[in-house]
Amino acid sequence: MDSIENITRDNARALAAVKATRETELAQRLMKAIAESGERMLPWFGFSHLKDTVQDVSMIFARAALDVVARVPAGPERTVALRKLLEGKDAAVRAAL
């Protein structure tokens, strides 16, 4: 019979694998959106270069930026929305450091 420690360790590994897959999928979605939409603000929502401790925080904003680009027509107001979102991301990442 597996000990609690082994089960917990296996669960932690499984969760880490799921997290890595989600990070990769989000990074791919972000790169695709950058290429397809031409939205010049999107590259600033990248998170792969950040420390693991703040990647989760940054990913929240990357998802939101992708949603904005998908749902809001291109134009000056969308750019303002993304700029404000970027300001929020920067502040949240600094707070998480």
pTM: 0.78
Give the model confidence (pLDDT) of 19-50 as tens digits.
777 788 988 999 899 899 989 999 999 998 89
Give the model confidence (pLDDT) of 48-77 as tens digits.
889 988 999 999 999 999 999 999 999 999
Contact 30, 66 (CB under 8 A): yes
Q: How many CB atoms lie under 10 A from the CB of residue 61?
A: 21
The secondary element (H helix, E strand) that includes residue 8 is helix 4-37
Domain ranges within the chain, ordered by starting residue: 4-96
